[in-house]
Amino acid sequence: MARSALIIEDDADIAESVRYNLESAGFKTSVAATGESGLSMALDAHNPPAVILLDLMLPGMSGIEICRRLRRDNKTRRTPIIMLTAKAAEADRVAGLDVGADDYIGKPFSVKELLARVRAVLRRSEEDAGERYDDGRLTIDFDDVRASCDGTNVKLTHKEFMLLTTLAKKKDRVITRQQLLDQVWGYSYYGDARTLDVHIRRLRQKLDACGHCIETVVGVGYRFIGCGASGSSAKADG
């Protein structure tokens, strides 16, 4: 069965080009030319998109606001979102990633790169589905996007949860700073690496008594060591 892709783009030529190439690659596509119509189509429970390609600059509701609303809704909080943007400023790209976009691609872009990014975010989404980490103290439900420490729910942003998930799935393995930036912020992120350190610090603070589950490997990156006495969970390995 063909997977569905929703294109939210007000430039008719770009929308048509993306639609044509996605359909040629086997996707079933829908197109929205405004933010409002795109949000409505994304939240359609009868035809949920498997992936959303979202223009940053749209008439009416912006791509940033759409992404923020989609991440707040249970139906779309895990739907992969790729930002399409003509803006070159780092702040604009980071803003999209911080509100929950999985990746971004700058205009003009090549068809091969676009399709590669679509496949990559879908692959990561499918790998994350239906898994759970539990060491007796820290619990992470990857599919339901929930984390708790000692039975108390921990409220995390989308990026913070992605960081925790990425680390937990490679338990006891060192993940370099660049690997974390690539996997959580997207392969085209070339911004300030200190963004990662800020997010790790906030994540530890929010995890509170479970914050020590993330270990700093000086000069390299970070390692998830867990919080339980046994320090192991078969379901988290990957």
Write out the two tokens for 154.
């921990």
Compute the radius of gyration of the chain from its Cα atoms: 18
- Specify which of 27-36, 67-76, 103-112, 163-172 reaches the highest per-range mean pLDDT: 27-36
Cis peptide before 49 (omega within 30 of 0): no
Tokens 């992605």 belong to 162
pLDDT band at 86 (very low <50, low <70, confident <90, very high): confident
Q: Which stretches of the chain are assigned E, i.e. beta strand?
A: 4-8, 28-32, 51-55, 81-85, 103-106, 132-134, 138-141, 146-149, 152-153, 174-176, 214-217, 221-224
Q: What is the amino acid identity at position 32?
A: A
What does the pLDDT average to over 60-73? 91
pTM for the whole structure: 0.65
How many helices (DSSP H) and strands (DSSP E) are in the chain? 8, 12
The residue written with tokens 């999985």 in the block is 102
pLDDT at 109: 87
d(CA 70, CA 79): 8
